[in-house]
Structure 1
Amino acid sequence: MFGIDEYINTSLKNEKVLKYEYLKTCIPDEPSDILDFGCGGGTFLRSLQSEYPLHNYVGVDTDGTALEHGRKFFDGIRYYHQPEGSYRIIYSIDVLEHLENLEEILRDFHKRLWCVGKLFIHIPLELQGVYRSKSRRDIKNRYSGHVKHYNLGFILNLLELVGFKVTRRWHHYHLISGYRDYLKYKTLEDGLSTNDIFTVNWANNLGSKFKILDFLAYYESKILKNIKTFSSGVSLVCVKMPSS
């Protein structure tokens, strides 16, 4: 449903700003090949291309409509359904929780990165923090499309197993952020259950009710970026270690 996607993307824009700022710490000075895995319509690619025009950018997504949007509006960026080639930087933001085969994907990232390459990921941690409660997680998942749930320890161990070393991390979605998102999904579900017609305008009106919480959530994530307690999401910078 386009309306739900539009609502979620709009309502989380503040956190996207933080993720973009953290992503930029990986971008090298010299011209490089950079892959966005799960690029959607190309929001992050477009921002990077504007700020760092010397690099070659590639976007990969299984959503044909999103790729067409990217091809139409963002010149100089190549879009594919499957990764091709090798890269200095690979990043994947709010994507891996939608996929079943995380270990296989991370191993493919490792294979495609140059020997000095870096991986940047952001992933929800829905087995801890606010979403440790299964009932809250179930409400969110009905609209978010998450098929896998993780905690920080599992992600760190898996990255090490496939050959990555985590060099930096930032935590997201603490108490205010987590409850804000839960309340949004709960309000969304209550509205749909009463047969309300879901439209972008309806979504924007709903989003406006949470502006103060959005503001507080943004600064909470910014201030508590080094605090893992109550965190329900994490951004990680990983360097490729030599294959054994």
Structure 2
Amino acid sequence: MELSTEIERLELNDIKNASQFYNNRYEGDYMDEWPTRKKRRVYELLLELGLPEEGIALDFGCGTGVFTSVIKQAFPRWQVCGTDLSSVALEKAKAKNPNCDFFRLDDPTLIYCKFDFIFSHHVLEHVSDIDETWILLSQLSKPGTRMLHICPCGNEGSFEHNLCRLKKNGLRQHPKNTFFYEDRGHLRRLDTQQMRSLAAKYGFDVCLEYYAWHHYEAIEGIIEEGLDYVRYLTDPIQAANDAAQNKLHRLRKQLQTIAMLRTLTDIVNRRQQKPEKSWKDYAVIAILKPLTAIPWLTSRILKWLADNEWHQRRKDPKGAEMYFLFKLSEC
């Protein structure tokens, strides 16, 4: 790991530096939006929880309020709040959700609040001290409070875990159990046993555990990032051994083919959107547009497979993302 990256990770352990780190990110379009399918999945899952018609909910680590909106949509009669350590993110969240309340994480009034439901989406991998975070979550809860956490999963067997095993240092011990391609703000990747242990340690019972990003959803997500990202992930030069190198070569060819086909659609769209088109533009559109049926069909098939995988395999722990619902003991 480069020294500069290691220093950045160490600085994230300090809340002031972490706040500035994320303020700088949120000045851009960091986490400004999530795929429609992901928001729909969270919305449907919230409806499955059987929560009462009224209550107080907290989006813990709400960022720009994308999932605060989803919570409010699922629970229209609830008071929905959000908290984050980034003031820049909170300003964006307030603009998106004028009917919700927002607090900075260090707001002294927050500790006096008690919530019926607490939600976090890809937050636990970012916090500097996981135990301090669970202590805070316990303080914000009352007997019977339910808490849903969605975060990266470190279990073995997912498509991404298997991919990382093919690379030298693909599975990193520092930061804890993370994958080589992960964002530098990720300080850990928890596995199932660690999540269960944390819950038990702080008095929460596990009510539900689901998993996603097993295979097809992971492939779709990787391809959505583009051709350069595919090449980076599957770079055979960094293979762990000869057998791994051969596997990476085969995987690279497969993923590159799909990613390259999708670029056809991008090329055609850019040419069509030009206000003034040359004869070359019309020629490119005429030649390539019929071919865009292939990436369109491929995309639809992958999305269908990913959706089906979620419904068929969400109890299979060999996924790269996990959904844990907890309930604070009432005794």
Query: Structure 2 length as normaliser, TM-score?
Result: 0.59
Matched residue SS, 1:40: coil
Contact 1:14/1:214 (<8 A) preserved:
no
Picking from 50, 55, 61, the partner of 1:32 is: 55
CA spacing shift, 1:32–1:3, aligned 2, 3 Å: closer
For the residues of structure 2 that align with 1:218 and 1:224, how far apart are their CA atoms? 10
Q: CA deviation at 1:179?
A: 3.4
For the residues of structure 1 that align with 2:65 and 2:84, how far apart are their CA atoms? 10
For the residues of structure 1 that align with 2:320 and 2:203, how far apart are their CA atoms? 24
The aligned counterpart of 1:197 is: none
Q: CA deviation at 1:17?
A: 2.1
CA spacing shift, 1:81–1:28, aligned 2, 3 Å: same
Contact 1:26/1:120 (<8 A) preserved:
no
CA spacing shift, 1:99–1:205, aligned 2, 3 Å: farther
Q: CA deviation at 1:240?
A: 0.4
Q: CA deviation at 1:186?
A: 7.4
Residue 131 in 1 paired to residue 164 in 2? no
Contact 2:39/2:70 (<8 A) preserved:
no
Picking from 121, 132, 135, the partner of 1:93 is: 121
Residue 223 in 1 paired to residue 263 in 2? no
CA spacing shift, 1:205–1:112, aligned 2, 3 Å: farther
Query: Which has the larger Rg?
Result: 2
CA spacing shift, 1:75–1:142, aligned 2, 3 Å: closer
Contact 2:145/2:327 (<8 A) preserved:
yes
CA spacing shift, 1:107–1:25, aligned 2, 3 Å: farther
Q: CA deviation at 1:205?
A: 4.8
The aligned counterpart of 2:328 is: 240
Moved over 6 A (4+): none
- State the superposition RMSD in angstroms: 3.1
Matched residue SS, 1:53: coil
For the residues of structure 2 that align with 1:154 and 1:205, how far apart are their CA atoms? 42
For the residues of structure 1 that align with 2:42 and 2:74, how far apart are their CA atoms? 15
Runs of at least 5 residues in structure 2 that lack an aligned partner in the other structure: 1-24, 172-178, 233-262, 268-291
Residue 74 in 1 paired to residue 116 in 2? no
Contact 1:38/1:60 (<8 A) preserved:
yes
Picking from 25, 44, 60, the partner of 1:21 is: 44
Matched residue SS, 1:96: coil
CA spacing shift, 1:182–1:126, aligned 2, 3 Å: farther
The aligned counterpart of 1:165 is: 205
Contact 1:71/1:77 (<8 A) preserved:
yes
Query: Structure 1 length as normaliser, TM-score?
Result: 0.78
Tell me how many residue pairs correspond in the alignment: 226
Return 130-139 or 178-187, whichever deviates more: 178-187
Runs of at least 5 residues in structure 1 that lack an aligned partner in the other structure: 193-201
